Amino acid sequence: MTDFRTPRPLATGDVLSDFRCGVDVLDSWLRGYARNNERSGGSKTMVSVTTEGRVAGYYCLSASSLVREDAPQRLAHRAPDPIPVVLIGRLAIDQEFTGLGLGTALLQHAVLQAISAAEIIGMRAILVHALTDDVIPFYERFGFERFPGSSRALYLLVSDARATLVG
C-alpha cells in the first residue's frame, strides 16, 4: 500500500510533469497554471505526495463570492450580498493512486482549510463546480448540495461542515 504525506502547499521543487489524472484540463492546469496562480495570489494549491516525493493528488482553493439572488435559499438566507465563499477550484488524483481514499482525504483537508479560513475571515459556504456528472455523488456524500437549476454547481455551508468535521 502506498503511503501519502499530509497535504502541503505546492513547492518549487515538486515535479508536476508526471501527473496524470485522466482529465486533460486538470492535468494541464496543474502543470501550466498552478504555480502562476500561486505567485499572483489567484489560488493556493495543496499537494499530497508519496513517500518517494511523487505528486499523487492536488486541490486548489480561492476566495470567491456569489450574488445573493443567484444562491439557493438555504445559502442566501440572512447572508450578505455578495455572499463570501471559498471555491475548491480543482481536485484531482493521479490515475495510479485512484481507489485508495486519497480523493476523500484531500476533500476533507480542503474543507478543514476552509473552516480554518472562516475563523479569520467571513465565509458562508464552500463551492465546487463538478467537471462531470459522475463526480457529483462524491461531493454529495460529504454533504454538498446542488444548486437548483444547475447541474454541476454544489455548495456546503461552513456551519454544516464545522458541525460534521469538527464537531
Over the stretch 25-75, which tens digit does the pLDDT of each residue have? 999 999 999 999 999 999 999 999 988 888 999 999 999 999 999 999 999
Q: Is the pLDDT of residue 115 over 60?
A: yes
Write down the pTM of the prediction. 0.92
Q: Which three cell numbers stand for residue 35?
A: 504555480
pLDDT of residue 3: 65
State yes or no: is 139 an active-site residue. yes
Point out the catalytic residue in the list 58, 59, 139, 155: 139
User: Residue 97 belongs to a domain with what CATH number?
Assistant: 3.40.630.30
Domain for residue 2, yes or no? no
Pairing assessment for the beta strands 83-93 and 125-129 based on DSSP bridges: parallel
**For residue 62, what are the β-bridge partners?**
87
Say if 129 falls within a structural domain: yes
Domain count, the chain: 1
What pLDDT is stored for residue 166 in this prediction?
65
Structural contact between residues 58 and 45, judged by C-beta atoms closer than 8 angstroms = yes
Range of the domain at 66: 8-166
Residue 3 counted as domain residue: no
Rounded-to-integer distance, Cα 59 and Cα 9, Å = 10
Q: 128-164 pLDDT, tens per residue?
A: 999 999 999 999 999 999 998 877 999 999 999 998 8
Distance of CA 113 to the CA centre of its chain: 10
Residue 1 lies in a domain: no
